[in-house]
């Protein structure tokens, strides 16, 4: 039966005979019908995922905004801790959790629902162990920041704040496996309600403790930790309540089987996403080496905060396309997977363009939301055109990363990220920023070019992919992991034609 926009939308991963692969596109009208049908599927996933991502990111963003009204040192300290210490840990945790996105999505598409809960528990074991190791980075944050050349005054304040934020680290370890578990089943609305409630409570108590009661950054740390653990506990209650059916059948000793192979895929995922997360963390670090570092860090933190909020929107597309690609490959629908990639790239570009235009229209007003310093606001104003371009690029790039996660290309994309970001982008940024004396703007220009090159490379990879082979590789991966075998070899880098 021909797959068309006239058919009712089926649950992702349905094995019903109506759920066929996409037939060859026969003319513009057929293309438009299929484009609209796939857009509807993507937005049903992306809209709640965007809301969830924006709410969760805004927890740190709201704290950063209040920190800017506490003082410039407090803003710089929070930015360094949030970008370097917490940012590094967030990248590791989210990256290792994305292995679950590949496995759960493809297993769900193939109808092996019962394996999802086992996969989530394996991920918990690995991420909690990783959190214990990362905790030492928080404990020794002060000497680490001094070692990498941060100003002593900022490092002392950031190091003290890092100690207060250790509970958040363990919340990351619990949250990301649950998030991927729920996303694979398209149960994103529940996550949205939980994240929305957490954000509302976070705004209220951040204002109350940080400004009204004068607790400053100690109050900010207390509220930020509590908000993340509220999300974890609420999601756990939702999962344990029986709403996930056979995807959760209780705790199992199977969580401790095949851990080494699971760890390998998790590490490949972590490297891929960490290289992306740390790339913009490096931007804050380099700003700390400029003259008048406190002002430079404050200005760039405002810009990265805005990029972060828009990237959270892009992460909604990342989640949606990861689910769509993994589910369709798991169900042996390679043409549908390929078409989903086309739709998500077009959609992400249009959304990024809208954000960029809005920012340019209000470029005189928005800096005042983040800082009372006229010097900081002037630097942000001059960076706005570059910020607008960066937003467009960073809306498309996460969508393409989602394709890589859904297909299981994490190791390949890690190599792409090393080349584009660290061999090309950062050296170019340092050259423009320091050798050509362009300061923060020059550093950022070079690094944005690294993002553009990486986006083009990922687009070329997706274009050249043999999706029939990817569907076969997904079937092999499901058989390997679904059987709980310990000697099977996982294929991380697929073949291209």
pLDDT digits (tens, 9 = 90+) for 102-156: 778 777 777 778 888 888 888 898 899 999 999 999 999 999 888 877 778 888 8
Looking at residue 493, what is its pLDDT? 34
Specify the pLDDT at position 349: 93
Q: What is the pLDDT of residues 365-418, one digit of tens each?
A: 888 877 778 888 888 888 899 999 989 988 888 888 888 877 778 778 888 988
Q: Tell me the average pLDDT across 90-110.
A: 78
Give the DSSP letter string of 382-405. Answer: HHHHHHHHHHHHHHHHHHHHHHHH
At 329, the pLDDT band (50, 70, 90 cuts) reads: confident
Average pLDDT, integer, range 310-323: 83
Mean pLDDT, to the nearest integer, of 303-323? 82
The pLDDT of residue 456 is 92
Predicted local distance difference test score (pLDDT) of residue 19: 53
Q: Which of 405, 401, 442 is nearest to 425 (CA)?
A: 442
Q: What is the pLDDT of residue 10?
A: 38
Determine contact, residues 209/224, Cβ cutoff 8 Å.
no
Average pLDDT estimate for 287-294: 71
- Between CA 212 and CA 233 the distance in angstroms is 28
Task: Using a pLDDT cut of 70, give the percent of the chain over it.
Answer: 88
- Please answer whether residues 74 and 157 qualify as being in contact, where contact means their C-beta atoms are separated by less than 8 angstroms: yes
Maximum CA extent, the chain: 67
Average pLDDT over residues 312-323: 83
Quick check: 74 pLDDT over 90? no
DSSP string, 249-268: ----GGGGTTHHHHHHHHHH
Q: Can you give the pLDDT at residue 259? A: 73
End-to-end CA distance of the chain: give it in Å, rounded. Answer: 29
Task: For 201-229, write each residue's pLDDT tens digit.
Answer: 999 999 998 888 878 888 889 999 999 99
Indicate whether 2 pLDDT > 50.
no
Question: Is 454 in contact with 436 (CB distance < 8 Å)?
Answer: no
- pLDDT over threshold 60, residue 491: no
State the pLDDT confidence band at 164, using cuts at 50, 70 and 90. very high
Query: If you write DSSP's letter for every residue of 111-152 in order, what string do you get?
Result: T-TTHHHHHHHHHHHHHHHHHHHHHHHHHTHHHHHHHTT--H
Q: What percentage of the chain has pLDDT greater than the value 90?
A: 22
* pLDDT score, position 343: 92
Q: What is the pLDDT of residues 432-485, one digit of tens each?
A: 988 888 888 888 898 889 989 998 998 898 888 888 887 787 777 667 655 443
Q: The pTM is what?
A: 0.71
> What values do phi and psi take at 204, rounded to 5?
-60, -50
Strand stretches in 6-47, DSSP E: none
Tell me: pLDDT of 21 over 80: no
Predicted pLDDT at 480: 65
Q: Quickly count helices (H) and strands (E) in the chain.
A: 17, 0
| Whole-number Å distance between alpha carbons of 256 and 234 | 25
Least confident of 49-53, 68-72, 137-141: 68-72
pLDDT for the residue numbered 1: 34
What pLDDT does residue 482 have?
54
């Amino acid at each position: 039966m021909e797959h068309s926009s006239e058919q009712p939308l089926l649950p992702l991963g349905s094995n019903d005979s109506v759920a066929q692969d996409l037939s060859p596109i026969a003319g513009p009208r057929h293309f438009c019908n299929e484009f609209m049908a796939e857009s509807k599927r993507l937005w049903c996933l992306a809209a709640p995922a965007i809301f969830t991502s924006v709410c969760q990111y805004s927890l740190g963003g709201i704290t950063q905004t209040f920190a800017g009204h506490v003082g410039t040192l407090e803003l710089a300290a929070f930015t360094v801790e949030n970008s370097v210490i917490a940012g590094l840990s967030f990248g590791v945790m989210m990256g290792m959790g994305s292995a679950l996105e590949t496995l759960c999505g493809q297993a769900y598409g193939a109808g092996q629902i019962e394996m999802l809960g086992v996969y989530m528990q394996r991920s918990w074991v690995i991420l909690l162990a990783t959190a214990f190791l990362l905790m030492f980075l928080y404990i020794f944050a002060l000497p680490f920041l001094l070692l990498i050349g941060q100003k002593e005054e900022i490092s002392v304040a950031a190091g003290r704040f890092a100690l207060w934020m250790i509970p958040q680290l363990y919340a990351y370890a619990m949250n990301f496996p649950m998030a991927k578990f729920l996303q694979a089943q398209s149960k994103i609305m529940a996550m949205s309600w939980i994240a929305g409630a957490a954000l509302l409570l976070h705004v209220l108590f951040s204002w109350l403790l940080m400004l009204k009661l004068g607790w400053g950054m100690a109050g900010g740390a207390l509220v930020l930790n509590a908000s993340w653990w509220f999300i974890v506990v609420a999601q756990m209650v939702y999962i344990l309540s029986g709403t996930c059916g056979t995807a959760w059948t209780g705790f199992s000793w199977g969580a401790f089987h095949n851990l080494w192979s699971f760890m390998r895929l998790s590490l490949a995922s972590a490297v891929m996403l960490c290289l992306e997360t740390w790339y913009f963390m490096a931007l804050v670090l380099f700003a700390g080496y400029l003259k008048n570092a406190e002002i430079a860090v404050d200005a760039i933190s405002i810009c990265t905060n805005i990029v972060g909020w828009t990237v959270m929107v892009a992460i909604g597309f990342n989640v949606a396309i990861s689910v769509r690609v993994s589910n369709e490959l798991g169900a042996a629908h390679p043409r549908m997977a390929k078409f989903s990639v086309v739709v998500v790239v077009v959609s992400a570009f249009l959304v990024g363009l809208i954000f960029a235009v809005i920012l340019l229209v209000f470029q005189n007003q928005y800096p005042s939301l983040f800082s009372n310093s006229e010097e900081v606001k002037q630097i942000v104003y001059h960076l706005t055109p570059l910020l607008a371009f960066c937003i467009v690029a960073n809306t498309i790039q996460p969508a393409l990363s989602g394709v890589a996660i859904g297909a299981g290309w994490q190791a390949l994309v890690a190599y792409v990220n090393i080349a584009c970001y660290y061999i090309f982008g950062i050296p170019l940024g340092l050259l423009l920023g320091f050798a050509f004396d362009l300061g923060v703007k020059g550093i950022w220009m070079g690094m944005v070019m690294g993002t553009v090159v990486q986006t083009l490379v990922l687009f070329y990879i997706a274009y050249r992919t043999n999706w029939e082979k990817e569907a076969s590789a997904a079937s092999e991966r499901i058989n390997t992991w679904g059987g709980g075998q310990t000697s099977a070899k996982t294929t991380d880098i697929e073949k291209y034609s």
